Amino acid sequence: MSQLFESLNPVQREAVQHNEGPLLLLAGAGSGKTRVITYRIAHLIQDHGIPPFNILAVTFTNKAADEMKKRLDHLVGDVSQHVWASTFHSSCARILRRNINQLGYDRSFTIYDSKDQVMLIKDVLKTLQVDDKLNQPKAIQNRISMAKNRFIRPDEYAEKISSQFPNNPFEEAMPLYYGQYQKQLRDNNALDFDDLIILTVDLFNQSTEVLEYYQDKFRYIMVDEYQDTNHCQYLLVRALAAKHHNICVVGDDDQSIYSFRGADINNILDFEKDYPEVKTMRLEQNYRSTKNILEAANEVIGNNDIRKPKRLWTGNQAGTSIGLYRGFDENDEADYIIKKITERRRLRSTKYSDCAIFYRTNAQSRALEEVLRYENIPYQIIGGHRFYERMEVKDVLAYLKVIVNPADTVSLRRIINVPRRGIGATSLGRLESYARRRGISTFEAIEQVEAISEIKAGTQERIREFGQLIKSFQPSASPLSVTIDLLEASDYLEQFEKDGSVEARSRIENIKELESAIARYEEIDPDATVASFLESVTLASDIDGMEDETDVVTLMTLHSAKGLEFPVVFMVGVEEGLLPHINSIGSKEELEEERRLCYVGITRAQKQLYIVNALRRRRGRDFESSVPSRFIDEIPPDLFDQTSEYQPPQRKLISSFDPDEPDEAEMDGGYRVGQIVFHVKFGRGRIARIIGVGGSARITVRFDRAGERTLMAQYANLQIA
């Protein structure tokens, strides 16, 4: 092991050599925590003769577990296969396969995934004769999962959760739904993912014999990303470590960003209270980032009160200053980012794959994707779908497609029962069968539904109402007005508003962003129709499907970015209401988590960091003014590039000159042919010609994106670059 020690810094080496008693390892971003964990395991096996089957190493993802196994195999060879290196869920599943009979289950139990759970909840609602349109199965699933993560049973739900929501019918009904759900799981001899943890804890609580077996088996326990554990996982780890106290937890309270999933930061903050004899060590040397980036990260996170004090440092160079840009709107924000990526690539200093763009909400990807496609830059989205591939966006587009083309059976099939309106697959099949026999479209069959005797009268009425809904809209009308009216008339948004989960709120944001995209399209083309907008989206999607490259720009939310690193990072929308998110501003705890999220984003950057925001953002037809994030003010000004285009509200405009146009021509009111100008709706452009004089002069501008537009001088409101 002496050679291994040579590659470790003094603190890492001390952590690896610690082998008895509890160890709290506060590992800052980029400090080599995975190396410490694997070297520590190897040290226990090779230098202390600990049998590998006496070691449990728990991670949160299969990817992390696989990486740990590979490194252990490299360090100690085949014996590493006997170490239990796996996720919480995999470890618990192994334990339950051997011992779950003591809880009255059969060892051949089935594990239900998320889709299975939703289907079971639908069965529960059917059994209880509850309309699943009024009680969203996904929302019920989220509530049950959160309860299990907190170790709350159905009979405890009313007291511990429902009581917090007085006069809320949905929460009042949750104990009934939860109880029936668990009963049907038990009847099916099935477990969901949360059950794997909670039932293992139950097993340990009910059987001293089983608990002691696993306490003696796992004499040495290591838990990675301990700041992300929930209460149930905490109980599991505490039970296993209660006999020998040889527990090492590794984590960073400054990167605790998953409270919405049930993660409890107090698990790592209170570890020293749980184990008074603990040895606490801090891994503060960062191997990832430049000094400037780390200084910014330290200054931001230092404003949190709920944390363990630590300060990252590095032996790396100071590096370049942090770029700071305040754009006019989200489109200008995107233009700036792509300009920087293109410049760096042209100078051969950066590949596309070196660049990552982080945002707070999924909806923010839309403007970025639009510009990336326009510039033919390949990209990928991690942890989510491309904007126009997201379920809720595809649903709304399918509605619009049927309005334009009622014969589009594929789109009709997608939305005839979305949101749920009681038109099942059987009725749809009979409708389509009738259409085939008559040689007509499915929509034409809808208009003749009374003639289809195989369909019940009640279902006929619901089908008829759907047909009337579609026919009530004119394809020639404004695409935005059609979309807004459609969302209201169909109650599509209502299903997500009632859900209230993080996922549901994200879907609402995506729909609102779709409205913004349509509004912008209408500004570019005042004669826009629903059909022309759909055509533009379809063409963009076709381009998306053609991309098959590895050298791509990566887009993701800040939550998805944890654990990753990139040479060049752009943080987008760093402004009040987005980062920190509007939902967090009234709570100190939630605001501090938003600051941790900002810290995570900053510390992903290796060489270059850009922080970008906008003067205003579109919400449908309207614009909302934006204020730079308080987190920007927490970064020392001298860390920023003072030559960056941070110029609110004015901005420097960059465009190429068209040699076919003269440099000088008629002058009028400060405008001249050849000038670069900016318009609040149409964006950047160049004046092509001026006809007339004074306020009545007509100015023709060739806009980069909106094409050629003719404006009256007194109303043009053009900014001169």
Strands (E), 72-183: 84-87, 110-112
| d(C-alpha 522, C-alpha 525), whole Å | 5
Q: Which residues contact 182 (CB under 8 A, 6 or more apart)?
A: 154
182 close to 155: Cβ distance less than 8 angstroms: no
80 close to 53: Cβ distance less than 8 angstroms: no
In the residue annotation, 255 being an active-site residue is answered as yes
Q: Dihedrals φ, ψ of 352, to 5°?
A: -55, -40
| d(C-alpha 604, C-alpha 567), whole Å | 8
Residue length, the chain? 721
In the residue annotation, 719 being an active-site residue is answered as no
Q: 34, 182, 184, 380: which one is catalytic?
A: 34
**42-to-7, 49, 251 alpha-carbon distances in Å:** 14, 10, 20
| d(C-alpha 653, C-alpha 718), whole Å | 12
CA 44 to chain centre: 38
Q: 194, 225, 392, 395: which one is catalytic?
A: 225
The tokens for 563 are 């654990």
| d(C-alpha 54, C-alpha 35), whole Å | 20
Q: 12, 33, 136, 529: which one is catalytic?
A: 33
Place of tokens 């049930």: 262
Instruction: Kindly give the pairing relationship between strand 683-691 and strand 676-679.
Output: antiparallel
In the residue annotation, 386 being an active-site residue is answered as no
Q: 282, 401, 462, 604: which one is catalytic?
A: 604
Strand partners, 357: 555, 570
Q: Dihedrals φ, ψ of 91, to 5°?
A: -65, -45
301 close to 252: Cβ distance less than 8 angstroms: no
User: How buried is residue 243: exposed, middle or buried, by Cβ count under 10 Å (0-12/13-18/19+)?
Assistant: middle
In the residue annotation, 33 being an active-site residue is answered as yes
Q: 180, 255, 603, 608: which one is catalytic?
A: 255
Q: Which residues contact 270 (CB under 8 A, 6 or more apart)?
A: none
| d(C-alpha 199, C-alpha 205), whole Å | 10
In the residue annotation, 592 being an active-site residue is answered as no
The tokens for 25 are 């390892």
Instruction: Kindly give the pairing relationship between strand 247-251 and strand 279-283.
Output: unpaired
In the residue annotation, 394 being an active-site residue is answered as no
Q: Name the residue among 496, 504, 428 with its Cα closest to residue 466.
A: 428
What's the N-to-C CA distance of the chain in angstroms? 64
Q: 202, 224, 369, 522: which one is catalytic?
A: 224
Catalytic residue positions, numbered: 33-34, 224-225, 255, 604
